[in-house]
Chain A
């Protein structure tokens, strides 16, 4: 193991231990028994097929979004706009699916995925273009784009596409829904886990190859590491910024496949519930490595679902606190571990 990966593993472990400690203290403060809480989480999340299924179902969108974000983050592009991008993509997926209802499912999926990808990608392209052309910080422009996109969807939605007195689009039809995992494996009975999870794993594998095994990925990381130097070795930095933003944002649209084709059958305003921001934490925890993202997504999903399991003892919102603590503790333990290794000349 190189010193780099040693440092990374150490800081991830430290942050998880720290978060676990704080959570335990919190449970004690409320006057509940931590052992009881943890065994409840364990029993509900890991021992029943339903629990495992729900956890993987909740992990699916996180894997998609965090993988998309990882592409941007590797190029040192702070894409805070996943929330807007994924909503634009999902909205378009729902609208497209209704238009092409008569096509066979597989064709429909492909067309919808492409349409959603393009819509989310275009939303992501706006901050990229303003950055390349005018030097506008992508942080501010992606934050602003989130609000703009949601307002536009809200407007188009409420006035044109919504089913009366709801905030959702028309259903894409029951026979358009993807197969549930429980159809094949009765073990997952009742959970919403569907084929999208496999798609998420495939996307993670593809993004891994893209980042670490291709010339594109090499250039991407070069830009992220040192923009000026990579310009000198002939990397077209502007092109890299545009492509990584388009592809990264595009991938976030795939959550729409999970939600619309795999679960509800329609797009609903507010379905994303700030998952675009949670995914930033997921990607960070995994050091923007797509394989690690699979695990950190499952961890965050398990926390999310575990919250429901312990809701009778402590408010399930405690898991939101835990997720926040994880991101801040990973940031600080990273910084501390890195400087410790550097001081000793190890990295």
Chain B
């Protein structure tokens, strides 16, 4: 009964919206990239890089707004390198993604020890008190922004054409390469915000703090069928699982939380198999152009 009232409270609802933030930012980012035809399984790594660099910049500059800007620049560079591999050199996108995830995990671990002589976490960071909340608000506004950008603007139409049929798009004068780069860079920026949110809400960076959120974001994108609003609901569902898990852990109820942790991934597989509606990725998703 206590658990039930815990779940039905307003704080629990607020908790869900908070926890949705990194998922939705990552998932929207991945969506922009895939809409342009580039599969980015490196969202996890992008978030990790951003979280780490934001923490480092905050500590060294003492100004979290400046740190945010610097962190976004780092992720833009990272995205450009990722596009260089996947778009310009046409290297397999999955393998590149795995490589980026490994390299970023290595870089962050290495710099952690180098800067803070600790392999687990940074010292406490004082982040601007409104940072986490503003990012959550932005994430909610992002639903409308994505819908507008993808479906109501020339940019969105051309971006999607790069992911559906790049050959036809190019023949009509669309600079396909440019849009693919744009898609990946947007994914880098949005996942960076996800990483920054994690650091600002926990007030430090710790090794492994992304904890698979980048992959859950990919899962949400698939369940949301590459559509901004649907993706949002998928993220809300996953955030609810996470909030539930925490509530259960605190209450000490005899329900195995590991199995709740597993749900996002299991549901994704079930959705992919077709138990819950049909899914259809962009037609030229993952195919180098």
Known: A143-B215, A147-B212, A323-B102. A332 touches B91 (CB 8 A): yes
Contact present for A324 and B105 (CB under 8 Å): yes
Q: Which of A126, A137, A151, A281 has the most CB of B within 10 A?
A: A151
Alpha-carbon distance A322/B110, docked complex (angstroms): 10
Known: A148-B269, A318-B110, A336-B89. A80 touches B98 (CB 8 A): yes
What is the distance, in angstroms, from B26's C-beta to the closest C-beta of chain A?
14
Known: A140-B218, A323-B102. A159 touches B89 (CB 8 A): no
Contact present for B215 and A159 (CB under 8 Å): no
A13 contacts the other chain (CB 8 A): no
User: Out of B94, B99, B268, which one reaches A144, CB within 8 Å?
Assistant: B268
B3 contacts the other chain (CB 8 A): no
User: Out of A130, A134, A139, A317, which one reaches B41, CB within 8 Å?
Assistant: A139
Q: List B residues 108-148 near A (Cβ within 8 Å).
A: 109-110, 112-114, 119
Closest to B90 in A: A335
What is the distance, in angstroms, from B151's C-beta to the closest C-beta of chain A?
25
Contact present for B102 and A130 (CB under 8 Å): no
B240 contacts the other chain (CB 8 A): no
Contact present for A327 and B98 (CB under 8 Å): yes
On chain B, the residues within 8 Å of A144 by CB distance are 215, 219, 265-266, 268-269
On chain B, the residues within 8 Å of A319 by CB distance are 106
B4 contacts the other chain (CB 8 A): no
On chain A, the residues within 8 Å of B69 by CB distance are none
On chain A, the residues within 8 Å of B90 by CB distance are 335
Closest to A76 in B: B92
Alpha-carbon distance A84/B103, docked complex (angstroms): 21
Count of chain B residues with a beta carbon within 8 Å of a chain A beta carbon: 45
Alpha-carbon distance A328/B96, docked complex (angstroms): 7
Known: A321-B107, A324-B107, A336-B89. A148 touches B102 (CB 8 A): no
Which of B12-20, B157-165, B198-206, B254-262 is the contact stretch? B254-262
Closest to B259 in A: A155
Contact present for B114 and A315 (CB under 8 Å): yes
Contact present for B103 and A130 (CB under 8 Å): no
Q: List A residues 136-176 near B (Cβ within 8 Å).
A: 136-137, 139-141, 143-145, 147-148, 151-152, 154-155, 158-159
Contact present for B274 and A151 (CB under 8 Å): no
The number of chain A residues touching the other chain, given as a range, is: 35 or more
Known: A134-B273, A145-B269, A151-B262. A278 touches B110 (CB 8 A): no
Contact present for A317 and B106 (CB under 8 Å): yes
Q: List B residues 57-108 near A (Cβ within 8 Å).
A: 85, 89-92, 94-96, 98-107
Chain B residues touching A, majority SS: helix
On chain A, the residues within 8 Å of B36 by CB distance are none
A105 contacts the other chain (CB 8 A): no
Alpha-carbon distance A148/B262, docked complex (angstroms): 5
Alpha-carbon distance A289/B78, docked complex (angstroms): 31
Alpha-carbon distance A274/B219, docked complex (angstroms): 20
Contact present for A151 and B99 (CB under 8 Å): no
A284 contacts the other chain (CB 8 A): yes
Contact present for B272 and A284 (CB under 8 Å): no
Known: A130-B273, A328-B99. A323 touches B106 (CB 8 A): yes
Contact present for A331 and B268 (CB under 8 Å): no
On chain A, the residues within 8 Å of B219 by CB distance are 140, 144
What is the distance, in angstroms, from A237's C-beta to the closest C-beta of chain B?
19
B25 contacts the other chain (CB 8 A): no
Contact present for B262 and A335 (CB under 8 Å): no
Contact present for B109 and A320 (CB under 8 Å): yes
Alpha-carbon distance A61/B114, docked complex (angstroms): 29
A308 contacts the other chain (CB 8 A): no
A325 contacts the other chain (CB 8 A): yes
Contact present for B258 and A158 (CB under 8 Å): yes
Q: List B residues 173-230 near A (Cβ within 8 Å).
A: 212, 215, 218-219, 222
Known: A284-B95, A324-B103, A324-B106. A159 touches B269 (CB 8 A): no
On chain B, the residues within 8 Å of A143 by CB distance are 41, 215, 218
On chain B, the residues within 8 Å of A280 by CB distance are 95, 98
Alpha-carbon distance A322/B100, docked complex (angstroms): 12
Closest to A311 in B: B113
Q: List A residues 242-296 near B (Cβ within 8 Å).
A: 274, 277-278, 280-281, 284
What is the distance, in angstroms, from A107's C-beta to the closest C-beta of chain B?
34
A184 contacts the other chain (CB 8 A): no
Alpha-carbon distance A147/B104, docked complex (angstroms): 20
Closest to A320 in B: B106
Contact present for B103 and A328 (CB under 8 Å): yes
Alpha-carbon distance A314/B114, docked complex (angstroms): 8
Known: A281-B99, A327-B103. A321 touches B269 (CB 8 A): no
On chain B, the residues within 8 Å of A318 by CB distance are 110
6 A-B pairs with CB atoms under 8 Å apart are A80-B98, A143-B218, A148-B269, A274-B105, A331-B89, A332-B89
Residues of A within 8 A of B (CB): 30, 78, 80, 126, 130, 133-134, 136-137, 139-141, 143-145, 147-148, 151-152, 154-155, 158-159, 274, 277-278, 280-281, 284, 314-325, 327-328, 331-332, 334-336
Q: Could you list 11 further interchain pairs (A-B, Cβ under 8 angstroms) beyond the known A147-B261, A151-B265, A320-B105?
A: A80-B98, A137-B272, A140-B218, A145-B265, A147-B262, A147-B265, A148-B265, A155-B259, A277-B98, A281-B98, A317-B113
